[in-house]
Structures are given as structure tokens and as C-alpha cells.
Structure 1
Amino acid sequence: MAPSTEDSPAGIYFSELLEKDASKSTALAAIETLMSTLEKSKATTVNELTDELKKVVTAMQSTDYSSTSVKSASELFMRFISLASLDLQTFDECMKVLKERGTRFIARVAESRQKIARFAQPFIKNNSRILTHSYSKVVLEALGKVAASGTSFHVFVTESRPDFSGSRTKERLDSIGIPCTLILDSAVGYLMESIDFVFVGAEGVMETGGIINKIGTLGLAICAKAMNKPVYVMTESIKFVKEYPLNQQDIPEVFKYRASTLKENKNLADEHPLVDYTPPQYIKLLFTDLGILTPAAVGDELIKLYL
């Protein structure tokens, strides 16, 4: 997605990180932007620094990248760097500790996709037929690593309208030699009986264990459930969000629409939402850097992250 034209310097820096590295996730770019702010900050008190970081988060959310991913990653990063006691004699000592924690956090996040790929690998057998939706960098990396190990499988990819992001997935799979077929979104029901399982990514994992993801994920998951096909989600734990939606109307508007759309004060009834909410009952397992989780375990993990 293109960045908003009204970006602040922090928003521009955040957008440039994503434009320069197509493999970088929105969540990781958000953390790196906050870390850059931390390293350059001229704040003299913890309150000043906190206000500065909050303004950076607002700037990132004013771009047209995933607000869900920005929110989750930013909250967890700020929580992590201030987790232990900061009862130090000087603010300089405090800043040093915060920067050290920030560096450790980024290093941990950088290893997330490799861990997820390792957890997913035993589930993908030779001749597996996999259905995926839209464009997920973590799913692509996992599939690439499994294919590189010698396992042969076929991937079916939905077009994922209205932005045809599934076409990008097919291009990527073609480039690394994984057999794949691009299908119409409306062909999911026809194809579902012949596939083995569904792999999708997530823009955010809710406290319920459900996910916010590209529009169409819910319909795909309902169809899979009806035909007894498991739906597996691949996602980094930095996408865990302290939100508890019960239905589509509970999804915050900043998650559903681009920032530029909200700024234009359009009649949202005339706008297609970019994402939908897939409740936990349609998800079999989540492959995360914390391990393989059931949807019910997400709430417990969030409690641990925010203790």
C-alpha cells in the first residue's frame, strides 16, 4: 500500500523502510522506527520520551499500511522496553537500558519467521495441496523453506480482490519454483474439497484467538470448516493485539479502512473494508514464534506478554 501524502518525518521513515525492503513486515518496520526514535531522542524525562514515542505511533498509523500491525507491534515494543524496573539514578542510565532492551527485542523479532517455518514444516507432506489467501510474507517464507528442504507440494492462491494481492503471491511462488495455481475468489467452495488444508497469515491476532486479515479470509475459513479442512494461521507474536471483537461491527474503523480513506471523511457505507474478522472457532492452530498455539491459548500468551 502507498503511504499517505501527509506523513510526518517518522511516517516517511517508516514507509521508506517498507519500500526499500519488500520482505520486511509492517510490524517489524514499526518497531525499527520506534527504535530509531529512541536512539535519536533528545528527551530529558521518561514522560517526554513516552509522549515522543506515542506521536511516532500516531504518525505510522496515519500511513496506509496496516494499522493493526502497527498497533500490536508498537504496544508490545513499548511494553517490553519498560517491562523491568527503571529505578535508576539518572535519565541517561535509563535511556541506555531502554536502548539495550530495544535492540534485544528487534533481534528476537528478526528470528520469528524462521521459528514459524520450523514449526510448520512437519505439517506439510509430499504432494500436499495447500490453499492460501492474499499475500503473507511469513507464509511465503515458510513455504519457501519447506520446499527448499525437498518437500514437494502444490499451492492454490486466491486472486484476493480488490487489490489482486494473490497475484503477487503467485509471482513469488513462481520465482522460487513452487508449483501454484491462481484461482478466482469465488472458486474457493469448488476447490475446497480437494485441498488438504489452508494456510493464511494475519494482520493481527485478537485476544479471542481470532484474526484480523485480508477481506475474504472469513468466507474461506467458514467454507473450510464446513468441509472439515483445517485452517492454520502463520503469524509473529508481535501481531497479538489486546482487542476483543465479537463480530465484524466490533472491528475498529482504523483497522478496516486506509488512513487516507478515513481522512477524506467518505461515507464508509460506500467503502469496502480491507479486512474481516475470523473468529477462533474457524481456526485449528496458530504457528507462532512462541510455539504452536490453539486459539484459546492466545489470551494466556497476551497476559504473559503484558504482565
Structure 2
Amino acid sequence: MKLEKTLKDIKEMKIQGAISIALAAVEALEDLIKNSKAKGKKEFLSEIESAAEQLIQTRPTAVALPNAVNQYIAEIRRLNGDIESIKKAAFAIGKSLVLKNMVATQKIAENGAKLIKNNQTVLVHCHSGTVTAILRQAKLEGKRFKVICTETRPWHQGFVSAKQISELGIETELIVDSAAMQVMNEVDLVLTGADAVTSDKKLINKIGTSQIALIAKGHKVPMYAAAQKLKFTDKKSSQIVLEERDVNEILEGKKLPKVNVRNVVFDVTALNMLKGIITEDGILR
């Protein structure tokens, strides 16, 4: 069943990127709706809400996941009529949410591409489908530029970014995370994605983002985060659970029996360290 596979794939990092995870969750719910045997609205809602809670628990930090799922559930709760018409309408709502996100991402791409000039070097951290969309749009507009990708340990999401960006015909380099300081004097612009933008004006994103922000600010290099409105939350940064994953992702089979190893996945950056947030409504500064 698609739900079980999606739960497994999100937990095992086979699906990466906050928006990709959120959309995968919506698609899993669509599949559940399509194959539901529920005979009434109460039973149907119980089935969908149970699946939604399981999906939300897979990644506690990225707010796009609960925001998308909760928005979907809220729309379904408002439906009335016989069970078959409710299922049909619920399925259509899911398709509408996916389409709405595609439109938002394209608008962000267009807004972000305006920041990229000819012959610039752009540094990107981790893997963000939204950032890749910005770079794709800039390339389509005929701009010539180079991209430097950080490897992003321990899951090496930077390898994914580097592969995708290079396949767009953009000159691409890959560096180790700790080389960010050394190469920053070559960089004109820094772009990252976002896992959450909080009410106390903080960006939560892949570990290393805050360090890159410090380095960029020290070198007077503008840094922007790309974030759909789906990633904004009323919560404060202190209310967001910062995920820590299995330490074996770092150890890779090595043994350190007397060492306390931590695999911290996300960090928090004050928005005043950035030049702005690129959204579908424009650039928030």
C-alpha cells in the first residue's frame, strides 16, 4: 500500500526536501482515499486522520508536512453528501493542493531568478527542489553563472543538488561543508531552502545553514532562503522539535564506545542574518 511505502521512504530519507515530503504525504492520502472501503463519513475521516497523524510524525521539524496534511484534512472535514461524492471531492482537493504548490514553486523560481546576474557564482547548501527551480529559471532566461554545492553530510544531499544542477547545463562544483569559508570570497550569492520560517523570525533549515549565514554575512555576500508560504508557521523556533537522527549515519560502521555521538539534523538562523526570504508573493526583506 502506498501509505506504508511513503512512511518508510520518508523515514529512510528516500524522499528528501520539505516540499517533496509534503507532496508525497498528500499523494499517499490521495491513494488511501481512492482505495478506501469506508461506508460513511465518520469511518472515512477516522481512516484519513489516522494516516495523516502517522505521516506527520515521520519528520517533526519540517512544517510543510503538517501544514499540507492538516490543510488537506480540514478541507475534507467540510465536505458533505454521500460517501462516494465525499471521496471523489476529497481526491480532487488533493490534486488541487499539488497543483497549487507547483504554481507557488514556479512563482518563487521567477522571483528568485531575478537575483542571479550573469557571470555570478551562487553557493547552495543541502538539496532544495525550490532552489533548483530558481537556478533552472535563471538558466532558461539565458543567464550564465556557476553554482557551488556543499556536500551536506551525512546524507550528502549536496550530491543530489550537484547532479541535478549540472544536468541543467550549469557549471557546477561540489565542496566539503567545511570549505564554505574558504570559497566564500568567490561567491556572489547564497541560496538555501527552508524547513520552517517561524513567528519569532527564525529560519530552520539543514544543519550548517547558520554557519554559512555567518560566513556570508562576514564576507558581505547576500544570502536568501526560498520558502513557500506552506513553510511558515505561527510557532516560535523554541516550539519546533529539531530532529536528531541515528548516529550510525555519521559513524558509518566505526565504533566509538566512550564517545557520545549526536547526529543533529537542523539548526536555527535569525532572519536578520539573511537578505530576505523568496516566496511566491515576492521577496520578504
Match of 2:36 in 1: 41
Specify the code of the residue in structure 2 equivalent to 1:207.
S
How far did residue 13 of structure 1 move? 4.1
State the alpha-carbon separation in 1 of the partners of residues 190 and 16 from structure 2.
Answer: 27
Give SS of 1:270's match: coil
1:118-141 deviation per Cα after TM superposition (whole angstroms, max 9, x unaligned)? 111211110122111011122112
The answer to whether the 8 A contact 1:81-1:98 is kept is yes
Match of 1:286 in 2: 277
Bigger mean CA deviation after superposition, 135-144 or 226-235: 226-235
1:47-104 deviation per Cα after TM superposition (whole angstroms, max 9, x unaligned)? 443332232133334657975442232123223445xx54x45555544443333332
State the alpha-carbon separation in 1 of the partners of residues 16 and 121 from structure 2.
Answer: 30
Match of 2:241 in 1: 252
State the alpha-carbon separation in 2 of the partners of residues 61 and 192 from structure 1.
Answer: 37
State the alpha-carbon separation in 2 of the partners of residues 209 and 46 from structure 1.
Answer: 40
State the alpha-carbon separation in 1 of the partners of residues 167 and 94 from structure 2.
Answer: 35
The answer to whether the 8 A contact 1:113-1:138 is kept is yes
Query: What is the percent sequence identity of the aligned residues?
Result: 26
The answer to whether the 8 A contact 1:27-1:239 is kept is no
Match of 1:240 in 2: 232
Q: Evaluate the alpha carbon distance shift between residue 11 and residue 68 of structure 1 in structure 2; reply closer, same or farther with a 3 A threshold.
A: farther
The answer to whether the 8 A contact 1:285-1:292 is kept is no
The structure 2 residue matched to 1:75, chosen from 70, 73, 81, is: 70
How far did residue 159 of structure 1 move? 1.9
State the alpha-carbon separation in 2 of the partners of residues 125 and 151 from structure 1.
Answer: 7
The answer to whether the 8 A contact 1:134-1:159 is kept is yes
Q: Evaluate the alpha carbon distance shift between residue 16 and residue 157 of structure 1 in structure 2; reply closer, same or farther with a 3 A threshold.
A: closer
State the alpha-carbon separation in 2 of the partners of residues 294 and 58 from structure 1.
Answer: 32
Match of 2:267 in 1: 276
How far did residue 226 of structure 1 move? 3.0
The answer to whether the 8 A contact 1:156-1:182 is kept is yes
Give SS of 1:123's match: coil
Match of 1:30 in 2: 25
Give SS of 1:233's match: strand
Pairing of 1:178-217 with structure 2 (within 5 A): 178-217=170-209
Moved over 6 A (4+): none
How far did residue 39 of structure 1 move? 3.0
Question: How many pairs does the alignment contain?
Answer: 271
State the alpha-carbon separation in 2 of the partners of residues 227 and 20 from structure 1.
Answer: 34
Pairing of 1:105-184 with structure 2 (within 5 A): 105-184=97-176
Bigger mean CA deviation after superposition, 111-120 or 50-59: 50-59
Taking structure 1 as the reference length, what is the TM-score of the superposition?
A: 0.74
State the alpha-carbon separation in 2 of the partners of residues 93 and 174 from structure 1.
Answer: 46
State the alpha-carbon separation in 1 of the partners of residues 244 and 67 from structure 2.
Answer: 15
Give SS of 1:278's match: strand
The answer to whether the 8 A contact 1:76-1:238 is kept is no
1:176-234 deviation per Cα after TM superposition (whole angstroms, max 9, x unaligned)? 22112222322222332332221001223333343221110011112222333222111
Q: Evaluate the alpha carbon distance shift between residue 11 and residue 181 of structure 1 in structure 2; reply closer, same or farther with a 3 A threshold.
A: same
The unaligned stretches of length 5 or more in structure 1 are 1-7, 262-268, 296-307
Specify the code of the residue in structure 2 equivalent to 1:70.
L
| 1:11 to 2:4 alignment | yes
The answer to whether the 8 A contact 1:44-1:91 is kept is yes
State the alpha-carbon separation in 2 of the partners of residues 286 and 21 from structure 1.
Answer: 21
Match of 1:299 in 2: none
The answer to whether the 8 A contact 1:235-1:287 is kept is yes
